[in-house]
């Protein structure tokens, strides 16, 4: 991608500001907020396998759904709860694009069975911002220009939030080590580490 492009034109779709792009990772949350309850309530998918009733809180909102026992947390979020901010990359636990927080701990949603989240509190990228105010790490990603295509970004940010809370931000090397499960095909690692450092400083860690 050409470096001659103006900053606003790099890495983001035409007509979309960088702040808007980062905020759009929360679009699923907005959509979920305006969808009729019938569309986000229990829509049991056709299944020929055993199913379970699941009660889970996602971004502060409680959901009760009946799911096939084989459903991953990632598919539950994206396909049942209309929260597409969490990305499906490898679907095999190798890329970190699907990182979310379950009871405050980061997990790969593609490797987590949704039924294991009974009664849990799940936080996705859509639940990070406080209204119009981005989470400090979302803001840091913008200020550090820490994404290009943006596909890995929700997972990077969720992992970074946990990395900061865990106190693994003592050095660039430590951040790299504790963020090593999150791959970026665009190679934004240097700026991602800078963004995590910036947010960690703001958090006082």
Binding site for ligand FES (CB under 6 A): 88-91, 93-98, 108, 110, 147-153, 184-186, 188
Judged by beta carbon, residue 159 or residue 197, the one nearer ligand FES is 159
Which residues does residue 130 pair with via DSSP β-bridges, in sequence order? 133
Which residues does residue 68 pair with via DSSP β-bridges, in sequence order? 51
Judged by beta carbon, residue 45 or residue 149, the one nearer ligand FES is 149
The CA radius of gyration of the chain, in Å to the nearest whole number, is: 17
Judged by beta carbon, residue 62 or residue 105, the one nearer ligand FES is 105
Alpha-carbon distance values, 82 to 32, 34, 57, 64, 136 (Å): 6, 11, 14, 14, 25
Judged by beta carbon, residue 84 or residue 96, the one nearer ligand FES is 96
Closest distance of CB 11 from ligand FES, Å: 7
The answer to whether the beta carbons of residues 63 and 44 sit under 8 Å apart is: no
Closest distance of CB 39 from ligand FES, Å: 25
The answer to whether the beta carbons of residues 75 and 144 sit under 8 Å apart is: no
The answer to whether the beta carbons of residues 24 and 88 sit under 8 Å apart is: no
Closest distance of CB 121 from ligand FES, Å: 20
Judged by beta carbon, residue 142 or residue 186, the one nearer ligand FES is 186
Closest distance of CB 172 from ligand FES, Å: 18
Q: Which of 16, 154, 10, 38 is nearest to 85 (CA)?
A: 154
Closest distance of CB 34 from ligand FES, Å: 27
């Amino acid at each position: 991608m050409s470096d001659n492009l103006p900053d606003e034109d790099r890495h983001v779709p035409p007509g979309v500001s960088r702040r808007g792009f980062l905020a759009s990772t929360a679009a699923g949350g907005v959509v979920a907020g305006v969808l009729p309850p019938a569309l986000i309530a229990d829509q049991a998918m056709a299944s020929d396998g055993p199913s379970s009733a699941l009660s889970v809180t996602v971004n502060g909102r409680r959901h009760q759904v009946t799911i096939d026992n084989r459903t991953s947390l990632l598919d539950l979020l994206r396909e049942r709860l209309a929260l597409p901010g969490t990305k499906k990359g490898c679907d095999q636990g190798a890329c970190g694009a699907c990182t979310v927080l379950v009871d405050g701990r980061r997990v790969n949603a593609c490797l987590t069975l949704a039924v294991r989240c009974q009664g849990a509190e799940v936080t996705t990228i859509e639940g990070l911002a406080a209204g119009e105010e981005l989470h400090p790490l979302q803001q840091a990603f913008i200020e550090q220009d820490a994404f290009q295509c943006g596909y890995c970004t929700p997972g990077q940010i969720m992992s970074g939030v946990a990395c900061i809370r865990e106190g693994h931000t003592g050095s660039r090397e430590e951040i790299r080590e504790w963020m090593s499960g999150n791959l970026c095909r665009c190679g934004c690692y240097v700026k991602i580490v800078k963004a995590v450092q910036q947010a960690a400083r703001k958090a006082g860690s």
